[in-house]
Amino acid sequence: MAISPSFLPAAAAITLAVDCMGGDHGPRITLPACRAFLERHPEASLRLVGLPEALKDFSHPRAVIVPATEVVAMDDPIEIALRKKKDSSMRVAIQQVKDGSAQAAVSAGNTGALMAIARYLLKTLEGIDRPAIAPQLPNSKGGATTVLDLGANVDCDAEDLLQFAVLGSALVSALTGNESPTVGLLNVGEEAIKGSETIKKASQLLRVAAKSKDLNFYGNVEGNDIFKGTTDIVVCDGFVGNVTLKATEGVAAMIVDFLRFEYSNGLFSKFAAIVSYPVLKALKKRLDHRRYNGAALLGLRGLVFKSHGSADEVAFGYALDRAYDAARNNLLDRVRARIAHAAPLLARAESAAPVDATSLPV
């Protein structure tokens, strides 16, 4: 994996706030993942947020239990999560970041609610209209491609795409140490002439940004370039990003199902499966979405990471590690510095367009 967050020699003392109630499984997986995290990182601390009854058996010298009286359900509408459950574990965890008690928050809860609450409590950074969700996807180079936006913003204009490029560059530089990661604009062809009006305009903005050294803009890329690893970052609107991510998960699942079926189909195939075990195990590891769990919510005045709702202990641990790496490598400062440098380009009314919160994925 290309992500090698240990490039900064000195690790600062970092505290993460964890929404222990979020996700499909809640404390049953978040608590063991937190314990393992504390063992992996002897200098880190956690603030574990949740119903006291659910967390009462957990104790660790570097963990503090922070009580919350409510839980945002995976299918709660945004309005309920935001307006009615004002003492939810999700909200209290983000409040820890706002108060400065934690450097980042992690939740496996409802994405739409998480984005809405994070945006409400933390606010967007100056120059950023819409926060974005930026996960990493595995690529053929053995590394990861950061794709954003993945689900938060279904209607984006060219300026939003430019902002996503700035935010994604800061994230990748914080996670990998590469100060000039390449940015590709997802399009239907590599030629600058192709694409929708929005994409053509975004391409122009990105070329201007590249000239002023705000970005390392590679040019247009196509869907397959995400997995070739042509660029470190791929920028697209949240609709395209969400559909593409789910479609590629669908293809991978189809292939794995097919291999499983074929290898269990007759005695000879079963024998082949046994001798192929190391290869199939390596494939499974390569395609294991758990390793890529933990997407940054970028563009806010604080760090929030979203774990997949169905994450198991291993996957949730990856999300915790990613938040930890981002925090100790000063992601927020990097985002601010990049935005400041790109300020003339990003000059546009802040928060002009409200996020259509009902369109967020869960």
The answer to the question of residue 1 lying near its own copies (CB under 8 A) is no
Strands (E), the chain: 15-19, 45-50, 63-67, 104-107, 132-134, 136-138, 144-148, 182-186, 216-221, 233-235, 295-298, 303-306
Residue 347 interacting with its own copies (CB under 8 A): no
State the minimum distance, in angstroms, from the CB of residue 259 to its own copies.
Answer: 6
Q: Which residues pair with 67 in a beta bridge?
A: 50
Q: Quick check: 207 and 241 in contact, CB under 8 A?
A: no
Of the pair 274, 340, the CB lying nearest its own copies is at 274
Judged by CB under 8 A, the residue of 254, 337, 343, 352 near its own copies is: 254
154 makes contact with its own copies (CB under 8 A): yes
According to the binding rule CB under 8 A, does residue 228 interact with its own copies?
yes
Contact of 127 with 346, CB cutoff 8 Å: yes
SS3 120: helix
Window 111-140: residues binding its own copies (CB under 8 A): 138-140
The Cα–Cα gap between 290 and 269 comes to: 28
**Separation in Å, CA 299 to CA 78, 264, 356:** 20, 48, 16
287 lines the binding site for its own copies (CB under 8 A): yes
Q: Does 309 bind its own copies (CB under 8 A)?
A: no
The minimum distance between CB 229 and its own copies, in angstroms, equals 9
CB of residue 315 to its own copies, shortest distance in Å: 18
- Asked if 354 interacts with its own copies (CB under 8 A), we say no
Cβ neighbours for 281, distance < 8 A, ≥ 6 positions apart: none
Which residue, among 24, 183, 101, 130, has the nearest Cα to 359 in the 3D structure? 130
Least distance between its own copies and beta carbon 90 (Å): 19
Q: For residues 183 and 132, what is the distance between their CA atoms, to the nearest angstrom? A: 15
Is residue 319 involved in binding its own copies (CB under 8 A)? Answer: no
Q: Interface residues with its own copies (CB under 8 A)?
A: 138-140, 151, 154-155, 186-189, 193-197, 199, 222-228, 236, 238-240, 242-255, 257-259, 262-263, 268-269, 271-273, 275-276, 278-279, 282-283, 286-287, 358-359, 361-362
